[in-house]
Amino acid sequence: MQNVYQSSARLSYTTSAGSQSQDLLTPFEITFNNPIKKFDSSKLILRDTNYKPVQAPAWKIDSTRTKISLAVKWDKI
């Protein structure tokens, strides 16, 4: 007998950038179809165009545990 809920239990995600470039004035967001049970921000690695790790200031998870965001406040020149 096949489990009816098998496809809905699978975790999938979308990003705010999609297939486009990320706008630097808006937070980078990862949205999940189901709530995240465990969230360890040290497991998320942000990399530059040369694949070198970049320090992320702070990842935040929303109260529904379905959206993780990264907001960077850029210095004004």
For the segment 34-56, the average pLDDT, to the nearest whole number, is: 86
pLDDT at res. 62: 93
Span 37-52, mean pLDDT? 86
Residue 4 in tokens: 């009816």
Q: Tell me how far apart the alpha carbons of residues 29 and 17 are, in angstroms, rounded to a whole number.
A: 8
For residue 3, pLDDT over 80 is answered with no
What's the pTM? Answer: 0.69
CA distances from 4 to 13, 22, 35, 60 (A): 21, 37, 19, 33
Q: Which residue has the higher pLDDT, 20 or 41?
A: 41
